[in-house]
Copies of this chain bind each other. A is one copy, B any other.
Amino acid sequence: MHIEADELIGALRRSGLRITKARRAVCEVLAESHLDHLTAAALLQRVNERVGGNVVASTIYRSIDALEEQGLLHHIHLGHGPGVVHLSDDPLRDHLAHHHLVCEGCGRTVDVEMAAVVEAMGELAQEHDFSMKSVHFALVGLCLDCASL
């Protein structure tokens, strides 16, 4: 359903980029946490846990950039705070859309299913001569907990 680490690494390599220990770890962490929306800081931490090491934030950002340039990853800012990244959905096996309910109170983000809409989005993009890479869709409001405060 999502891109796997090997595919990421392969794609980078095919573009003449080099696979270092840090880069490989970034790919692996991303592939393993495709359910999460990781901040760069969280990604950094998991990468360092994995390599037992001293990988530095700028390396993470540069890896993110590299993957993003390949269209393998997208980043988006949902509300306040740092941006989050996640792998692209695989267009061959899945649809392109990500959907979230973003709570303004606690920042909690709930992923929701809404496959029906995706088709309409594709048409929309076509009408505007837009080559769609991914859809981010944030429904901003208050979750039940925060609404009752």
A residues contacting B by CB (< 8 A) are 74-79, 83, 99, 101, 103-104, 110, 112, 114, 116-117, 120-121, 124-125, 128-144, 147
Contact = CB atoms under 8 A, between A and B. Distances in A.
Contacts of A134: 139-141
26 contacts: A76-B78, A76-B79, A76-B138, A76-B140, A77-B77, A77-B78, A101-B124, A101-B128, A101-B130, A112-B124, A112-B128, A116-B120, A117-B120, A128-B143, A129-B143, A129-B144, A130-B143, A130-B144, A131-B141, A132-B139, A132-B140, A133-B142, A135-B139, A136-B137, A136-B138, A136-B139
A102 to B, nearest CB: 8
Contacts of A136: 137-140
Copies, count: 2
A103 B147 CA distance: 34
Interface centre among A136, A137, A139 (most CB of B within 10 A): A139
B110 A114 contact: no
Contacts of A120: 114, 116-117
Contacts of A131: 141-142, 147
Nearest to A100: B136
A110 B130 CA distance: 10
Interface centre among A83, A110, A135, A136 (most CB of B within 10 A): A136
